[in-house]
Each structure stands twice: as C-alpha cells, then as structure tokens.
Amino acid sequence: MRRRQIAIKITQDQWSFAVASGDGAGAKLLKTGTFIRDPERSLADQIVEAFEPLQMTDRFACSLPAQDSLLRWLEFPFVEPRKIAAAVPPEIACQIPESLDVRSVFHEIQQSGKVITAAVSKKQIEDLLEQFDDNREPLGYLGLAPFCFVAGLEWTADSLLLCVEGECISLARVEQGAVTDLRILPRATENADLEVIRQAQILSRCGTNSLQKVRLLGLASDSSLALCLKQNGFEIELVCLNIDDQQISEQLTTTASLALAACKASATGLNLRSGVYKLKNDWQALKRRAWMASGLVLLSLLIVSGSCYLQYQQRTSELVNIQQQMKSVYLKQFPGEKLRVAPLLQLQSKLKELQHKAAQFGTESPGALQVLLTVSKSIDTDLALDIREYVHSDEGLRLTGSTGSFDAVSRLLGALQKESLFKDVRILDSKQAIDGSRVDFQLQIQLSQTKGE
C-alpha cells in the first residue's frame, strides 16, 4: 500500500486540504476540499469527517512562505553531497545579515550545479509544528513555497511560474524543473500588477534563454493580472490539476501541488522537516506494525499448537486402538499365553525364539553369504576375472563372466571343484571373443545339501 500524503493549507478562516498518493515515479490526486478549523477539536478528527479514516501510514504536509526566509544560490567547486552539506552553513553565514543561531539552514542541489540554500527562522518552524500532533497528525513534509509547488508539478519546458498565495505573489524562473531565480511581491499594493509585469520581464531575460511562457498557479486565467501579462507579450498557461478527469478549482491548486510534492519528495530535496526537525514518530508506526506482526505470529502459533494437540489426541486414540487390535491378534495366535509386555515386543521375542530354533535344526542349503564367501576365497588373487552375472538360488549358482585365457577358466574350475560346499561344478559355455582379447565363460555350480548351524 502506497503512503498517502495529506497537504494542509492554513488560513485564518477556512483551511484547505488535498490528498495524494504515489512516489517519485508518479503521484495521483485522490481528493481536495475545505473545512473550517475548529480549535476545540483535533485536526485528525476534522480530516476524517472531510475525507475518510486515516491510515497508519498516512502523513501530513504543510508549507511555509519563502518571503520570511533568507535565500541564496551557492556554487561550489565540488559535487559530493557530503562536502556540500558541510560547506553550506559557513558559506551562507558569510552572505546573510543575521546570525544562524535563530535560523536553520536547508539546501538542495540543483541540476544546474547550483545549490539553493534557505535560512529559515527556527521559531517559524516550531510554531507551525506545534499545530500538529506527531502521533495523530504526523507531519512528514514541510515545504518552502513556491519551491515545493514547483517540485509537485510537471515541467515539460522552461517557463516562469506565477503563484498567488494569501497576500503574496511569487514569481519564479524555472529551468529544468528547478527554481533558478525568484521574486516575492506583496499583493495588496497600489501598482501590484505593474510591478509583477516589470519583474516578469526581468526574470524572463535574466538567463541564457528568454522565457515568455508564464504558468499561473492559484490564479484564474481571466484575472486582471493574467490579462496584463498577455498584453505584454507573455504566453499564459493555467496549471490544471485533475481528480478522475475532474478539474479542481484554482484556489486548491497550490494545496494539491503541495500534496504531489510530498509524494515525490526525496531525502535530498528541500524539506524543512529534516535535520533536528525530522519526524520522530516513524518508529512508533514501526512499533505498531511490530505489535500487529507479533499478534499475528502469536495467533498463528496458537492455531498451530491447537492443530498439533488435536492431531496428538487423534494419533493417541489411534495408537490405543491399534494396540488393542494387536493384543487381540496375538492372543488368537498364541492362546493361553499371558501378555507380560507390549504385544509387539512379545511378538518380536517369539520371532527370535523361532529363529533360534531354526538355526539349531539347520536348513537344506547353505546361506547366500556363505556361498559368496566360498567363491571369493576360491579365486586366486593373481587371477583376473570380470564377473558380469551372479545368480544364486537354493539349488545352485550360475556365474557368467570373462577372463584372459582358457587356462584361467580351467584354474577357476579346478579351484571351485575342490570346495566341499559345492556338489558339482561344470562349464556350461566357454568361448573366445572375436577380437581375441578375452575368453567368455559360464559356470554352473550345484550346492551340497548341508546342515546349517
């Protein structure tokens, strides 16, 4: 199950939310909406009413405006992330007019080789984090607007991004999906539109390529500012975000792009919820999962133990029945005898007794092992034989094999005829191979009738 990101936009009267799911490869919006924040109730309860019950893996996302941060684009003669991370704090400390004691430094390495660095007020971050409960409303992503909005959108071409959020207008130059320059202007000034046009003209020409395309985020395409941009030669494109092919309103696009950015966020991105402010309760989710897994394991053990116990009871009952049957069969075969031990043990004792009696009276023919040993001893060690067939029965023995010469066959025949265990030894067949390399033979041995011990 993919983690869902619930983006929250905090305002004085009506809060907005957007829910998205996905990862760096792609994200999808699930729902957007608004609600009036009730300070007497938890944010989680109100989100449940506006959306649906929260899952254990859900995370919240929020953003801070960039106008209160100190931003710098830095360049280093090396590209190793660890070296850059170590060099950023002292470098930005030399370029900002304020001590880093009251600010936290965050950075992101851009594709162009530059490093965007933001020194954000610690109090501003901490005041926002106090509005979220790490257990019920875990805030996992804290973006810096408009950088987080850029990260959530798709960029097929370089352009300017005009974002209207609250009382601020941010104008960013976006190249290869990264913000390379930024202007933040107040919205409620007398000549706000003219100042935005002037800054847009400056940003469009400040790079190697002139950018005449402006994407609008949180602003209608028929607004006075959008019409002024058109009149000054800019190409206007409205950022459109959809949920199940239904376009969401312009007022919710910033919140929706924040949710998408939270889904796509990586460990190297510009996330203010990192370092000392990193979410600490991920282990609690892991702990809950561990408890659930332990419960499932315990339940499985109980089921297996119960099944084993039932099988043991069944096998025990079957064993008792078999023992009773064995006892009944034994008493039928040996009537009048008392069972002093288990029927199987007493039956084995009877078999050993019968085997001992049979050994005392003997059998009509010698044993197979005795015959094999006699044949083996009768063959001289210097005699090379290849026995291909050795067939033993109560009446006799048949040997089929090959040797080097007819003389060797004769020596084997003579040695076997001297054995008292063999009543008659004769050659059934003896012939030389076509290539003359060996002599094939077949012997028939008749066993003497003896008394075994």
Q: What is the mean pLDDT of residues 310-323?
A: 88
Q: Does some domain include residue 92? A: no
CA-CA distance, 6 to 50, in Å (whole number)?
A: 12
Provide the pLDDT confidence category of residue 286 given band limits of 50, 70 and 90. Answer: low
Same domain? For 388 and 428 the reply is yes
- Supply the pLDDT for residue 280: 77
Same domain? For 160 and 227 the reply is yes
Q: Regarding beta strands 213-217 and 159-165, do their DSSP bridges make them parallel or antiparallel, or are they unpaired?
A: parallel
- Supply the pLDDT for residue 262: 95
CA-CA distance, 20 to 243, in Å (whole number)?
A: 10
Same domain? For 177 and 207 the reply is yes
Same domain? For 196 and 267 the reply is no
Same domain? For 220 and 159 the reply is yes
Same domain? For 269 and 130 the reply is yes
Q: What is the mean pLDDT of residues 352-379?
A: 72
Q: What is the mean pLDDT of residues 282-302?
A: 76
User: What does 142-162 look like in DSSP terms, one character per residue?
Assistant: EEEETHHHHHHS--SS-EEEE
- What are the pLDDT digits (tens) for 69-93? 999 999 988 888 899 999 999 999 9
Same domain? For 347 and 380 the reply is no
Kindly tell me if the per-residue pLDDT of 392 is higher than 90.
Answer: no
Q: Does some domain include residue 108? A: no
Q: What is the mean pLDDT of residues 83-104?
A: 92
CA-CA distance, 5 to 180, in Å (whole number)?
A: 27
The model's pTM is: 0.63
Burial of 245 (0-12, 13-18, 19+ CB in 10 A): exposed
Provide the pLDDT confidence category of residue 283 given band limits of 50, 70 and 90. Answer: low
* CB distance 60 to 139 below 8 Å: yes
Q: Does some domain include residue 163? A: yes
Same domain? For 128 and 53 the reply is yes
Query: Which residue among 277, 302, 324 closes a domain?
Result: 277
Residue 321, H or E segment: helix 282-333
* CB distance 420 to 385 below 8 Å: no
> For the range 232-241, what are the long-range contacts, defined as Cβ-Cβ under 8 Å and sequence gap of 24 or more?
232/197, 232/200, 232/201, 234/160, 234/200, 234/204, 237/159, 237/213, 239/153, 239/215, 241/29
Q: Does some domain include residue 165? A: yes
Specify the CATH number for the domain of residue 405: 3.30.1360.100
Q: Does some domain include residue 103? A: no
Q: What is the mean pLDDT of residues 285-291?
A: 65
Same domain? For 216 and 329 the reply is no
* CB distance 270 to 88 below 8 Å: no
The length of the chain, given as a count of residues: 453
Same domain? For 139 and 16 the reply is yes
Q: Does some domain include residue 14? A: yes
- Supply the pLDDT for residue 383: 84
CA-CA distance, 118 to 107, in Å (whole number)?
A: 6
| Domain residue limits at 305 | 292-352
Q: Does some domain include residue 40? A: yes
- Supply the pLDDT for residue 328: 81
Number of structural domains (the chain) is: 4
Same domain? For 191 and 310 the reply is no
Same domain? For 142 and 198 the reply is no
Identify the top-confidence range among 47-51, 61-65, 131-135, 275-279: 61-65
- Supply the pLDDT for residue 20: 95
Q: Does some domain include residue 395? A: yes
